[in-house]
Structure 1
Amino acid sequence: MTKLRTTTLIAAAAMIVAPTLSLAQDGMARAKERLSAYTSKPEFVAPGEPFDIKQCAAGKKMLSIPNNSANPFLKGIIDRMKTVGDKIGLEVVEWENQGQPSQWVQGFDYAVRDGFDVIDLISGISPDTVEPQIKAANEAGIKVMTSHFYDPSFEPNPLLSSSLPIGFNEIGRILANWITVNTDGKGRVALIVSREVPPTIPLVDGFTEELAENCPDCEIAQEINVGVAEWGTKIQPSVQSALQADPDIDVVVPIYDSMSQFVVPALRLTGKLGQVKVATFNGTPFVLDFIQQGAVSMDIGESLDWIAYATVDGHMRDLCGLPVPDKLNVPFYIFDESNATDAGTPAEFDTGYGDAYVSGFAKLWGLE
């Protein structure tokens, strides 16, 4: 009787474990398949029909206002947009500022006063904070647009002429699938976010949804929310505390890779450097150097030069009355220990992605 009962219990347990194993195996297979799209050199996909961009851009001026000129990522994009502008006859000017809303307002005043045709709010300035200025620009015949700011799921401010969003939700899903594959489906994660930044929300949503679907045994052990202005003072001690309180954490995800400069010292001081995986997003060169040094595991990169071409393309289509792409035509590409040196040593912003976009846009614009 006892033997029969034991056999029955074992059989019942097996029936419970089998579906769980199947779920995990199915999730792993999905994660690997979805991740594969980001591990090959990016290919150029035309964002719309061919058009004569020189005719559209001739004599036109675009003022690009970043949320802060101290951000090398944004400044790098604008510098490259200037170069693209030179090729097509578009004057691109940066409104340099230190991230003060009053300075953004001054940028709008300058654009109206000097007869610009386009104002580009690039990655960080919410149109909601400058609505009176957008109205004034519209009345002066200036088209106001955003780039690299909204997620495609967001409803753009109705005062905008158009918007070129990027897939922040998609980025979250890539991070989740990478963790699934690289922890054998058992990752215990410390997630570092800045919820004050609007794109953080769809990114984290994509991350948590994909992790739940494909990695049932993964767990977000702790979410660390740090405001952008406090990165330098709060990220390192918060990560140290998290690792000391929970030594089973095996992955740290700073969702924006500039956070990594404060994560790496925390790992070093806790003796976890090289043991705890770090997965992140942006492709900033110093973080790609971290990968080469073994301090960071993975970074989802995007070429600044490609962003510049795609931004100019979308804005010129709007300016000339053509359909505008529903998102910024820039692919994501995973850098890890296998290919980080392709970005250069030391790494550079535009190296490692290939140059398919250069000839792609040239043909699309009728330049060759």
Structure 2
Amino acid sequence: MILSKRRVAPWAAAFAVTALALTGCGSAKSTSASAGSHDITAAQNVVKQAQAPVTKFDFPKDAVSVPKDKLVIGIPCAYAAEGCKRGVDAVAEAAKTLGWRYQMIDPAGDPQKMRSAVRTAIQLHADGIVLGAVPASVVKDDVAAARSAGIKVVNTFEPAPEGFADANSLYDHVQAGRANAAYVAAATNGAGKVISVNDSEFQSDVELHQGFTDGLKELCPGCEIAKDFDFQIANLQSQVPTQFQAILQANPKANAVWTAYDPVALAIAPVITRSAQNGKLTVVSHNGDPEALQAIKAGNQPFSASVAFSVEWQSYAAMDQMVRLFDGSLPANLKTVNVPQKLVNKDNVTSVPWDGDIDWKSAYTKLWKTTK
């Protein structure tokens, strides 16, 4: 876990929070004291679309020749963080398929070690670097040096400023936040009184929060943010549960909670189960972490839904970008790829972790023309 000035992406919080058995309220049914007279048709439609199985994706149309003898370095936020680990493990798997050499450098969530990892990649004369939830603000100068040395850099998980990397493999955070807003609107029959728990240290969470708050205004005019609470990831275990307990007690009419990412919902779940509001709160979040999906599937505790995306799919998309960068054929429309996402509650948990619903792996490997 990172302390004080050390910052890692929300994925790193997953290994610092114990796996708690949480869950959901099932489908988006009312949890408010009275149904009210709000029109939630638009919100219900958004929920339906967000929960639908993924059946298609705009994969690259052109096959690409895979160059030989390339060295790719994977740099996760922290290998102990499950999401970051899964991300670089998928990069390693794809590199093996491509016939490339691969090395992982683990900064263990330390910003200084993140910078050092990029510099080490330069010293190793790497051909490519895949960043897994490494904040652009931390490594921007080192990444610029790597790119000046001819190394191709693909950024994953965290949004980054234009020009930071050669390519980005992400998911649409604003859309994800809007899906959660729709779920809250439907679950509270348009009368949500929401406690928002956000970590604005990270651009991904800023975008998720914006999508949620804008979505709530659009889809639920009768909803309101009862309390907008912002915290820092370093305090997730030590302070957030106690602070949330005070907020919950100060807002007895609250009927919904939005959190920026699943480990936050996991951390505050014991507070909710001990409170007078237990069973009365719709709790929604993001990531689709395995612990979160298992809790949602169990259906007996205060975790209603999470917007999931496939970490592995994101990594394979990043490696497809890397192949095309090496080949000199990465078109503008593939410089940023948003992989699909899905709003998951107890009624539509199909896999843990979510596998993306379609065979994305074969779609990519069929495009990679390797030579023996």
TM-score (norm 1): 0.83
Equivalent in the alignment of 1:252: 257
Does 2:73 match 1:63? Answer: yes
Does 2:331 match 1:323? Answer: yes
Does 2:358 match 1:349? Answer: no
Does 2:45 match 1:33? Answer: yes
Structure 1 unmatched runs, 5+: 1-19
Deviation, structure 1 residue 57: 4.4
* 2:347 aligned residue (304, 321, 338): 338
Does 2:51 match 1:45? Answer: no
1:156-214: CA deviations, max 9, x gaps?
2x353232342111111111111111111111111110011122222211111111111
Are 1:147 and 1:164, in contact at CA under 8 Å, matched by a contact in 2?
yes
Equivalent in the alignment of 1:362: 365
Deviation, structure 1 residue 237: 1.3
Structure 2 unmatched runs, 5+: 1-35
Percent identity, aligned pairs only, is 23
Distance in 1 between residues matched to 2:68 and 2:285, nearest whole Å: 40
- Which aligned pairs between 1:299-318 and structure 2 lie closer than 5 A? 299-318=306-325
Deviation, structure 1 residue 73: 0.5
Distance in 2 between residues matched to 1:48 and 1:38, nearest whole Å: 23
1:274-297: CA deviations, max 9, x gaps?
321111110111111221142211
1:39-61: CA deviations, max 9, x gaps?
12212413322222xx3342112
Distance in 1 between residues matched to 2:193 and 2:67, nearest whole Å: 51
| More helix, by proportion | 1
- One-letter amino acid matched to 2:212: F
What count of residue pairs does the alignment treat as equivalent? 331
Are 1:43 and 1:357, in contact at CA under 8 Å, matched by a contact in 2?
no
Structure 1 residues 242 and 33: CA distance shift in structure 2, 3 A? same
Equivalent in the alignment of 2:213: 208
* 1:102 aligned residue (108, 112, 125): 112
Higher relative contact order (CA 8 A, sep 6+): 2
Cα RMSD (Å) of the superposition? 2.1
Q: Secondary structure at the match of 2:337?
A: coil
Deviation, structure 1 residue 267: 0.5
- One-letter amino acid matched to 2:131: L
Are 2:69 and 2:100, in contact at CA under 8 Å, matched by a contact in 1?
yes
Structure 1 residues 363 and 38: CA distance shift in structure 2, 3 A? farther
* 2:300 aligned residue (277, 294, 297): 294
Equivalent in the alignment of 1:11: none
- Which aligned pairs between 1:144-293 and structure 2 lie closer than 5 A? 144-150=153-159, 155-156=161-162, 158-291=163-296, 292-293=298-299
Distance in 2 between residues matched to 1:76 and 1:169, nearest whole Å: 23
Are 1:257 and 1:287, in contact at CA under 8 Å, matched by a contact in 2?
yes
Structure showing greater Rg: 1
